[in-house]
Every structure is written in structure tokens, then in C-alpha cells.
Structure 1
Amino acid sequence: MKRILQIFYTQVLRMNGGDGDYSYSNNSLLQRKVISMTKPIIDDALANLYYTMNFPKTLIMADLGCSSGPNTLLVASELVKSIDKIRLKLAKDESLEIQMYLNDLPHNDFNTIFHSVSKFQKNLTNQMVCNNTSSSPCYVSGVPGSFYTRLFLRESIHFVYSSYSLMWLSQVPEMMNTNKGNIYMSTTSPPSVIKAYQEQFQRDFKMFLKCRAEEMVSEGRMVLTILGRQSDDPCSKECCYVWDLLAASLNELVAEGLIEEEKMDSFNIPQYTPSPKEVSNEVEKEGSFMIDCLEVSAVNWDASTDENLSISEDDVQGYNMGKCMRAVAEPLILSHFGESIIEEVFERYTNNIKVSMSKEKTKLVNVTVSMTRKG
């Protein structure tokens, strides 16, 4: 049964592909903001890696959970530019080649990424020409598969990066009790449900670290940004509220007879938002990595706002956060409830988000950890 669940979520757990109105490509400004916020940590990790590796001529890097759209190659571009700045600062003229592996689940929209690779490489070259510097050639490859399994050759990777991916679990936790009326951890969830989520995260994160430890070179670096929480309470509002609002939207449709109650009760989001303490504990227990930096940051929900939208000021923030969450959650909703209720669900969800944002300043919490592979 567990294997069946893992296969199912490997197939349906993806962001909306393409470049349509509800695609992840066009609704990931919030995620882009988080990438920008954590860039100093990435730069520091890459600088330390370059020094430690004694200025290598080849660097192998991987972006795990890369998704699709502009953020994917933005990350690759920033990593390459960071390395080139380090080389320029050290006056290193030796050639350096970079291999960038882009990983996500097999149903990710890799085609959109591949169509943009030549433009990405051309832009890198042009930027270096404008700055009168030489650019490190970057070769891009797609690697489909779950990052809770081995993905790369043993001791082959120098640098691993992941942003807003590791909160997604390998499957929905197997629960002893029904999480009635909820789709995620909530203040009304049975204690056994909370425990199941925590234990699933612990198993998954341990497996992630174990796989990366086998794939990375000694003294390699890894930077992970995970949607998390500051509180020790796994049901705190800072991490659960966005899903509570979706649950409220679905429950409205249950009350109106548009969704079967049994269908609602069998739906749960395969996600866990850890605290810094939980991340630290799991890294220390697994034992293959040393933590160099562990930071917590926050980003407002309205970071997803596109200032070019031609709708009223009162509506824009809730509307954009609604589209952002639809790009993330629609494949899961679609696979479980079917297509007939999709528009109604997300219309109500967007309205609930709008009401919430009009009443209070809502934020998402990020846990960023930078690590070194022990020798």
C-alpha cells in the first residue's frame, strides 16, 4: 500500500505546467522573492566551496525540485554568476566549466525549461561581455525522479541547492484516524494525525540526507530553503493557515452537496513545514553533514503581487495569492475531486484569501540551512 501511495503522488505532485494564466511559470513571484532573500547564504556557501576545492576546473551542481518557469533558470544563472564573481575577485583566469543538473518529478514540465536553455546560455554570455569578464560555460541537463531516492553517481556532486521543495513529502502520511474536516495539520486534527505527519517528515528528510551524502564529494556544500515555521507548534497559524482557508472552501462545497463528505475526509496535503529545531535535529541525527548556517526569514503573502495587473487595488493581493496557490495545489485537487468543481473551489479560495489579507498581515516562514558534507 505504501509503495502504491508513493507512485501515485510521484505522478500527481507537480506544479501547473505551461505558460497559461494559472501556470506556475506565471505565478511564482513569491518563490522568486525567497530565492533573492537567501542569495547571500548561497554566495557564502559557493565561495567556501571554491576555496576548499582548491579552485577546481569543473563544478557539478544540482537544483533539486527545480519546477519550471523563470525561477528555474534564474537559480542556475545566479549560481553561475556567483562563481564567476568569486573567480574575478581572486583574479583566477583558469577556465572553469559548470554542469547544472535540474531535478524534479517526472511529470514536471521539463519541456518549458529545455526551450529556454539556449536563451539562458546566451544571456549569461552577454552579461559577461558587458562586464568585460569571461563566462564559465554552463551545461544543463534534466534529471527526472524523486529526490527521496538516489539521483546521481556516487561522490560526483559539489553543490546541491533546493528552494521551496523539501516541505513536500514523498506521500501523504498513513493515518490511524480520519483528519475530519481538514486537509492538513490543524488545531482540530487528532494527535495521531500530527504524529503521522511529523514521522513522515523525519523519514523523508533522513532519506534525502542519506542519498545526498552518497552523491556529494567530501566538503561539498548544500543549501536548502524549506517552507517552515518559527513556532514549535506544528499546527501554528504561520504554517497551516493557507491550507485552512482551502479546507474552508472545500467544506463549503461539502455543505452544499457539491463534494461528498467521504471524499473530503480522504483528502490530505502531502506537506510538512518544519521548525529550525526539527531541521537541525534531523541533520545531526543523520550525521553526514555539518551545519554552517541556519536562518529563519519571512515573506509576506503579497510578495506574489504583480504590479502590472489591471484590477482594483483592493483585489490584487488576494487575487494573486489565489493564483499562486492554484498553480501549486490544482493538480492535487484535480486528481482527487475531478475537474467539475475546480473553478468553484478556487474562486471561493481566492475570496477567502482576499478577506484574510484585508484583515491582517499574513506571512510565510522560510527555514534556510547551509551544510557541508563531512569528510
Structure 2
Amino acid sequence: MEVTQVLHMNGGAGDYSYSNNSLLQRIVISMTKPIMEEALTNLYDAMNFPKTLTMADLGCSSGSNTLLVASEFIKILDKITQKVGHGQLPEMQIYLNDLPNNDFNAIFDSLSKFHLNITTQITSTTSSPPCYFSGVAGSFYTRLFPSNSIHFFHSSYSLMWLSQIPEFHNTNKGNIYMSRTSPTSVIKAYREQFHKDFLVFLNCRAKEMVSGGRMVLTILGRRSSDPRSKECCYIWELLATALNDMVLEGLIEEGKMDSFDIPQYAPSAKEVSTEVEKEGSFGIDRLEVSEVNWDAYADNCPNPPKYAERAYNVAKYMRAVAEPMLLSHFGESIIDEVFLRYKNILADRMSKEKTTFVNVTISMTRKC
């Protein structure tokens, strides 16, 4: 599986699109808004209120969340300029980055509406704020921008995705990710691939960022020191259960199952901070760990739905994320059946135990 070709969310606006199944990611962005606001306030002050600010959102995907980050960026700067009595907003260059197969057309189709909406939400100007958007297609594990050109980097729920499937010395039989039954060599390969990728990421951003620039990253992670912890692996273990059931019934070839692995690694806060300190270009301003329910809809509903409905919600947003990878490896014929089974497995588990995702958020400053 070539990660850069198949690692993208479901595009469009259909029932299983990322656009219609990304409330959880939206909630996580909102949860980390105070950290983003603190970073931008310190940046704007340290830069002595520059006339131009450049921001890049890495792993922006498509849908309503893509421009949510840009909207918060503009509103925070508007709030800061009003608070200090500076008057005019700076000109803002906003780069939206993701892999080439991301639905960039949907993003740019929505920009006209975005400009109309943001004008009603700011106070420093009665016209559209001076913000300019560009799409940047490419892996954030490579250089994307000129040296010393970016003031602020943001990324949410993207950096747990690896640049490639780790190379295993043993088959990760019966699994599609790390699990309690995975060989030690598989866990080691996943860990080493994340550490390698994250160091490359930090090194690239260090070259692209101005001295004193800020970066806020939120990564799907874990509290435990064990990479096989249920808090980061369970959601994929249950999908593997559905696939293994179909193998037993002859609906999926066993060899196909054993050769499929998810290119993801959920790090602990300690792992993230260790790699930042090892790379050496950034100072850590804040490092926080938070949680969000698997079913974000339940947390935002006065009368939470029954477990079957909650499981349906979780299965849909997992389908929006995983379907392109499954489709590429197994073909279209199994997709509806595997997610029907997955939904039933999720309903059973969610009715019996607490199910949450762990988020690791780090705010950093580019050292001088």
C-alpha cells in the first residue's frame, strides 16, 4: 500500500464522507483553541505586530473543519488587535496542506461562503479581512515551504499518520495495527517509524519557520507507556475482529488480511516531548493530554442515543477515515459488510466499557 496515494479521507458530501462525519475532530480543534490563542498572542507580541502573518495548517483534509482552523486564526488575531488598540488586522497568508488525493476542489469551492461568514464575525474591519488562501499538496514529511517563511504552524489529528507502513520482520498475523497479540518486533517497528517520521517533520518545519515562530500540534495519542494500550489500539482491534470473522467465513482471503496494516502510531506525551528535545530547534511552551468520547455526538446531546445508534455514528466516521485504505487493499465488494459487522461489534463494546480517545497537544516556539 502506497501511503501517499491511499491515505486521504472520503471526499464529497455523501453519507460516509469526512465532511459529514468529522464532529469528533471539530470538537478536538475547539478543545485546543485556548492553546492556539495563547501561542498566537505571544507570537504577535514577540513579532511587534507585523503587517503580514503566514500560517500553515498541515493535514487540513476537507470539509467544514478545514476552514475552522483558518477562521479561528483570523478571529484570534482580530481579538488581539482590538485588545492592544492596534486597529488594523495584518495581512494573512493561509496555506492549506494535505496529500495530493485530498479533496482540494471542495475546499476552494467553499471559500466564497467562508469570506462572507468571517466578515460578520470580526470587528476590526467591515469588509472581508485581508486573508489569502493557497493549497499545498504534499507530504508534511518533506519540505513544503521556503526557508524562514512561516510564522505559525498548526496540525490536528494528522501526525499520528506515518509516512509508510513499518517494515516488519514478523507477520502481524490477524491484526491490522498494534495489538496485544502483535509480536514485539512489530511494536518496535511502529515505534521506530514514528520517531523517524516525527524527527523529519520537526526538522523540515524548523527550516521553514521564522525565528520565534509558533507551532501547535494535536496528535491522537495515549497516556500509557505501552504502545499496545487499549486507549490507542482498541478502535482498530475491533475493526480487525470484523475482518477476521469474514476471513473465517471465506469472504476475505487470509493472505489479504495478514498483509494489511494501518500506517498509524499513537504516541505518549513523553515520546512527543523527547523527540522535540532531541531535534533541538523548538522550545516547549505547553504539553497537555486530554480525552474525548469515541462518540462525540453523545457528548453534545442532552439525551444520549442508544448504543446501537452511537455505534453507527462511530462506524460512519471510522469509515470516512479508513475506507480508502480498505478499498485499495480488499476491493469494493467487502466494504458495506465489514462496516455493518464493525458497527455491531462497536455497539457491544460501547455498552460495556468506557471508550475514549486520548489527545496529546504540544505548543512550541522556534528557538532563535
Q: Which of 104, 121, 141 is residue 98 of structure 2 equivalent to?
A: 104
After superposition, where does 1:179-190 map in structure 2 within 5 Å? 179-190=172-183
The aligned residue for residue 354 of structure 2 is 361
Change (3 A) 1:306 1:368: closer
> 1:51 is paired with a residue of what secondary structure?
helix
Deviation per residue, 1:163-200 (Å, 9 max, x gap): 00000000100110000100000110000000000000
The 8 Å contact of residues 182 and 268 in structure 1, kept in 2 or not, is answered as yes
Q: Which of 19, 24, 28 is residue 30 of structure 1 equivalent to?
A: 24
> 2:107 is paired with a residue of what secondary structure?
helix
> 1:369 is paired with a residue of what secondary structure?
strand
Deviation per residue, 1:211-260 (Å, 9 max, x gap): 00000000000000000000000000000000000000000000001111
> 2:212 is paired with a residue of what secondary structure?
strand
The aligned residue for residue 226 of structure 1 is 219
Identity of aligned residues (%): 70
Change (3 A) 1:135 1:119: closer
The aligned residue for residue 335 of structure 1 is 328
After superposition, where does 1:221-260 map in structure 2 within 5 Å? 221-260=214-253
Following the alignment from structure 1 to structure 2, what is the Cα–Cα distance between the partners of residues 45 and 255? 52
Alignment of 1:146 with 2:139, yes or no, is yes
- Unmatched 5+ stretches in structure 2: none
Following the alignment from structure 2 to structure 1, what is the Cα–Cα distance between the partners of residues 72 and 279? 30
Following the alignment from structure 2 to structure 1, what is the Cα–Cα distance between the partners of residues 93 and 347? 43
1:118 Cα deviation after fit: 1.0
The aligned residue for residue 137 of structure 1 is 130
1:305 Cα deviation after fit: 4.8
After superposition, where does 1:77-226 map in structure 2 within 5 Å? 77-128=71-122, 136-226=129-219
Following the alignment from structure 1 to structure 2, what is the Cα–Cα distance between the partners of residues 278 and 334? 32
> 2:93 is paired with a residue of what secondary structure?
strand
Change (3 A) 1:34 1:97: same
> 1:220 is paired with a residue of what secondary structure?
strand
1:122 Cα deviation after fit: 1.2
The 8 Å contact of residues 128 and 134 in structure 1, kept in 2 or not, is answered as no
Alignment of 1:296 with 2:289, yes or no, is yes
1:117 partner amino acid: L
The 8 Å contact of residues 78 and 89 in structure 2, kept in 1 or not, is answered as no
Deviation per residue, 1:62-90 (Å, 9 max, x gap): 00000000000111101110111011100
The 8 Å contact of residues 93 and 131 in structure 2, kept in 1 or not, is answered as yes
- Unmatched 5+ stretches in structure 1: none
The 8 Å contact of residues 216 and 373 in structure 1, kept in 2 or not, is answered as yes
Alignment of 1:352 with 2:345, yes or no, is yes
1:128 Cα deviation after fit: 2.4
TM-score with structure 1 length normalisation? 0.95
1:144 Cα deviation after fit: 0.4
The aligned residue for residue 263 of structure 2 is 270
Deviation per residue, 1:5-60 (Å, 9 max, x gap): 6xx21010000000000000000000001011111000000000000000001000
1:85 partner amino acid: K
Alignment of 1:69 with 2:74, yes or no, is no
1:298 partner amino acid: E
Following the alignment from structure 1 to structure 2, what is the Cα–Cα distance between the partners of residues 78 and 297? 20
Following the alignment from structure 1 to structure 2, what is the Cα–Cα distance between the partners of residues 89 and 116? 30
Change (3 A) 1:134 1:34: same
The 8 Å contact of residues 61 and 98 in structure 2, kept in 1 or not, is answered as yes
The 8 Å contact of residues 153 and 216 in structure 2, kept in 1 or not, is answered as yes
1:271 partner amino acid: Q
Following the alignment from structure 1 to structure 2, what is the Cα–Cα distance between the partners of residues 113 and 304? 24
> 1:127 is paired with a residue of what secondary structure?
coil
> 1:248 is paired with a residue of what secondary structure?
helix
1:360 Cα deviation after fit: 1.4
> 1:203 is paired with a residue of what secondary structure?
helix
Q: Which of 9, 15, 36 is residue 3 of structure 2 equivalent to?
A: 9
Change (3 A) 1:95 1:69: closer
Q: Which of 290, 315, 320 is residue 313 of structure 2 equivalent to?
A: 320
